[in-house]
Chains A and B, each alone.
Chain A
Amino acid sequence: MTATLLTSGLVLSVAEEVFAALVDGEEGKLTPWIGAPVPFAEPVVAWVDLAGEWSGRAVLLTERSTADDLARALLRLDPSEALGDEDLVDAFGEIANVVGGNIKSIVATNGDLGLPQVSTTIQDVSGTVIEEVLLSWRGRLMIVRVLHLP
């Protein structure tokens, strides 16, 4: 088990790389969150399980409106183009998938990555928090958590 290698700095680095390459096409749009977190009015959570010698879960949590805009950015949609629920689930889940996959490479589970899941119920995601990083994507709060699963 090598989860002790994981630090908040590495989680931040993974998230920055994923967002720069896939979502924004440039660096600097995802930064550490400054100050106290604001509560989510309509949260959306996406996660992917990391199976193997060490079992865990990588989780992305944000406001629904932020997840919508993340999906639009990933899909390169024009503002006039409609975003369906399937698009949101697919795109937000894929971002969690890529973040989780890169975290898994640090933890080195020697196992497989699960398929991404998306929910509007935070209680669907349980486990012991190993790392939690608060991020600002274009000024809006996004939380990345890495959980250890029994």
Chain B
Amino acid sequence: MRALVIDDSRAMRRIVGGILRGFGYETIDAGNGQEALDALAEHGPVELACIDWNMPVMDGLTFVNRVREQPDLRGITLMMVTTESEHGHIVRALAAGAHEYVIKPFTADAIRDKLDLLGLLPMEETV
């Protein structure tokens, strides 16, 4: 399975990507929403996208909206991974089409629990 890790922080991409690779994912990095759209155009759809909210060029919410406008990307599971933890932000993201919402700071176990709920853990990782 492939995952797109979208965050303007290289450190955060490294952390999230490392967790996902530990679960058996192949990961692709993007530094903002536009880079992520470019990556999808180049590599094709992925199973999962982990999306930061606040990024330069194109933020995470705009990326979610853009993905949801494209029928060929409808199969991607969108998981916000962000410091924006106010209720209004969570509602806006889920209304736009995000499937899950993880608030930083997180642990690998928290990511695994979300993936398990979404049915996106490889069989040997399912809890």
Using CB atoms and an 8 Å cutoff, list the residues of chain A in contact with chain B.
Answer: 17-18, 20-22, 71, 74-76, 86-87, 90-91, 93-94, 97-98, 100-102, 104-105, 108-110, 112-115
B54 to A93, Cβ gap below 8 A? no
B9 to A90, Cβ gap below 8 A? yes
A97 to B105, Cβ gap below 8 A? no
A91 contacts across to B, CB distance below 8 A: 9, 11
With the chains together, A74 CA to B15 CA distance in Å?
Answer: 8
With the chains together, A106 CA to B88 CA distance in Å?
Answer: 13
A22 contacts across to B, CB distance below 8 A: 15, 104-105
Q: Which of A71, A98, A100, A109 contacts B105 (CB 8 A)?
A: A98
**Per-residue 0/1 for B8-48: is the Cβ within 8 Å of any A Cβ (1 yes, 0 no)?**
11111011001000000000000000000000000000000
Closest 8 A-B residue pairs measured CB to CB?
Answer: A101-B83, A21-B105, A105-B85, A94-B9, A91-B11, A22-B105, A98-B104, A18-B105
With the chains together, A75 CA to B15 CA distance in Å?
Answer: 7
B83 to A115, Cβ gap below 8 A? no
B72 at the interface (CB under 8 A from A): no
B104 to A101, Cβ gap below 8 A? yes
> In the complex, how many residues of chain B place their beta carbon closer than 8 angstroms to a beta carbon of chain A?
23
The B interface is mostly helix, strand or loop, or mixed, namely loop
B9 contacts across to A, CB distance below 8 A: 90-91, 93-94, 97
Known contacts A104-B86, A108-B86; A115 and B54 CB within 8 A of each other: yes
The A interface is mostly helix, strand or loop, or mixed, namely helix
B84 at the interface (CB under 8 A from A): yes
B85 to A102, Cβ gap below 8 A? yes
Known contacts A21-B105, A91-B11, A115-B8; A102 and B83 CB within 8 A of each other: yes
B105 contacts across to A, CB distance below 8 A: 17-18, 20-22, 98, 102
The CB with the most chain B CB atoms within 10 A, among A93, A101, A104, A110, is that of A101
B75 at the interface (CB under 8 A from A): no
A20 contacts across to B, CB distance below 8 A: 105
Q: Which of A90, A105, A114 contacts B86 (CB 8 A)?
A: A105
Q: How far is the CB of B121 from chain A (nearest CB, A)?
A: 20
B107 at the interface (CB under 8 A from A): yes
A101 contacts across to B, CB distance below 8 A: 82-85, 104
B85 to A112, Cβ gap below 8 A? no
